[in-house]
Structure 1
Amino acid sequence: MNVIKLGGRVLDDPQGLTTLFQHIAQQQNLEPTLIVHGGGQQVDDLFAKLNLSVVKYHGLRVSMAEQMPLIVGALAGTVNKQLLGMAIKQTLKPVGLTLFETGLRVQQGQPELGMTGHCIEPFEVSELLLTLLEQKHLPIVSCVGFDSRGQWLNVNADEAAAGLAKALSATLTFVSDVPAVLDDQQQPIAQLDSDSIEQLIQSGTLMGGMRLKVEQALNVAQFLQKQVRICGCSCDTRHHSGTLINP
């Protein structure tokens, strides 16, 4: 079982995504795949067109209640359906979902982050998701979640992918617009573990969104006792590319 998280400008890379979906189509009968996607950059672009401000807090978007219709529309609507269209072209059987349909539980986080949600234990998935995977469908999951009151929440897509990987005991790959985690000379790092990650954080090399991604990757690697990969779109066809996060 594979969980692939798509994010960053990779969502604006049709050629790279086509190659990725082609590889998934070749492997889907052998091992099911689930895709989790963000769309923060696409939301930022939309806000820029509408002259709306983007506010971040420790690398996470502050999702204001009055902006949620736009955020949800971009993530669960436009970006999700663009990915469905690309998957259909490769003869896959995609199904667009939010985190609610997967069974992953979500609750509102810090007040400073507005309508931002977090995944909470126990990490479990729904019968619906398991049935879709058994029937060789390709779930494409936006990072929109709902709490127990039905309130929609914007969940960090890295965290959502990590939660689903834990629930499914799946191999997790973060696919982004960077080829790997980079050192202070902007060179790819082949492997990282908890000690080397801490050194990068202390030196200021690892920060912002990439720090959050690496921390989620390490958490899953330790939880499942298996490696997690952070890479660019070519990772499924170039198996030695990217950065491996070791337990």
Structure 2
Amino acid sequence: MKTILIKCGGSVIDQLSDDFFTSLKELKKSGYQLVFVHGGGPDINEMLKVMGVEPVFHNGLRKTTAETLNIVEMVLSGKTNRKLVQLLSKHGLSAVGINGTDDQLIQASIIDEENLGLVGNVQQVNSDLIHLLLEKDYIPVITPLGSTEDSKKLNINADYAAAAVAKSLNVEHCMFATDVEGIIIDGKVASLLEEDEVTHYIEEGQITGGMIPKVTSALAALDSGLKSVMIVSGKKAFYQDETLKGTQIVKKQEVIK
């Protein structure tokens, strides 16, 4: 079974185009199974503001108190996940939303309780539930939440959760859906970049602004053990004529076909 994992940031979900979903259907026709892991930053920040809770970040990760975690879970599970599942269903794709805490799907340990609170580092992904849904031709849509061995719920960075799920499923591709077509180098989308090339282009100033956190997330996914990640557009078609469009990032010159 060929599987592709697609990570959607919370801000990208509202920008997903009809062409994006057409590409998903083309992938299905080509024999790929799809799995989504999503974030929910904007929706979470909006609800924290409504609830009068000030967001706190430490080294780019959201500090998660027990109060914050309740809001994070409510938003991810009750709003953002529902939104993405509904979009997939609207475009004729059967999807099922699940939490990373369901059946201890994502097992995690606390990273740094003093500075980050209830934020977890993924230790293991129990992928039986995912495989069960894929066998029935459903698209699992997973929230980046995890739980400890004693069932304490934890907030997981969506990029790290996506990489862990991708690795556990041994996917063909791990894709980061963004608001751009890929990494622009010398005025055009680079189809393939090695990890050290990405670092070089950041230092050189060709990769700037909002692209930096996107590629940093991709590099973090590589560091977790994946051989390849891709940055693709959520606003345009990224798969046509059995060809993927975007930027593939690899540790070494190792093109994953």
With normalisation by structure 2, the TM-score equals: 0.80
Q: Measured at CA, do residues 2 and 211 of structure 1 come closer, stay the same or move farther in structure 2, by a change above 3 Å?
A: closer
Q: Separation in 1 of the partners of 2:187 and 2:61?
A: 23
Number of equivalenced pairs: 239
What residue in structure 1 maps to residue 133 of structure 2?
132
Q: Contact (CA 8 Å) 2:238, 2:244: kept in 1 or not?
A: no
Per the alignment, in what secondary structure is the counterpart of residue 6 of structure 2?
Answer: strand
What residue in structure 1 maps to residue 254 of structure 2?
none
What residue in structure 2 maps to residue 117 of structure 1?
120
Taking only the aligned residue pairs, the percentage that are identical comes to 26
Per the alignment, in what secondary structure is the counterpart of residue 99 of structure 1?
Answer: coil
Q: Contact (CA 8 Å) 1:217, 1:245: kept in 2 or not?
A: no
Higher mean C-alpha deviation, range 161-170 or range 229-238 = 229-238
Q: Measured at CA, do residues 169 and 206 of structure 1 come closer, stay the same or move farther in structure 2, by a change above 3 Å?
A: farther
Q: Separation in 2 of the partners of 1:191 and 1:55?
A: 36
Deviations 1:187-217 (A, max 9, x none): 7554332322333565686797335412223
Per the alignment, in what secondary structure is the counterpart of residue 150 of structure 1?
Answer: coil
Q: Separation in 2 of the partners of 1:119 and 1:105?
A: 6
Q: Measured at CA, do residues 180 and 49 of structure 1 come closer, stay the same or move farther in structure 2, by a change above 3 Å?
A: farther
Select the structure that is richer in strand: 2
The amino acid that maps onto 2:60 is G
Q: Contact (CA 8 Å) 2:193, 2:248: kept in 1 or not?
A: yes
**RMSD value, Cα:** 2.7
Q: Separation in 2 of the partners of 1:203 and 1:95?
A: 43
Matches within 5 A, 1:145-224: 145-170=146-171, 171-181=173-183, 189-200=190-201, 209-210=213-214, 212-219=216-223, 223-224=225-226
The amino acid that maps onto 1:100 is T
Q: How far apart are residue 158 of structure 1 and its match?
A: 0.8
Q: Measured at CA, do residues 211 and 25 of structure 1 come closer, stay the same or move farther in structure 2, by a change above 3 Å?
A: closer
Select the structure that is richer in helix: 1
Q: Separation in 2 of the partners of 1:50 and 1:182?
A: 39
Q: Contact (CA 8 Å) 1:34, 1:138: kept in 2 or not?
A: yes
What residue in structure 1 maps to residue 246 of structure 2?
242
Q: Measured at CA, do residues 5 and 87 of structure 1 come closer, stay the same or move farther in structure 2, by a change above 3 Å?
A: same
The amino acid that maps onto 2:85 is L
Structure 2: runs of 5+ lacking an equivalent: 252-257
Q: How far apart are residue 142 of structure 1 and its match?
A: 0.8
With normalisation by structure 1, the TM-score equals: 0.83
Q: Separation in 2 of the partners of 1:77 and 1:35?
A: 16
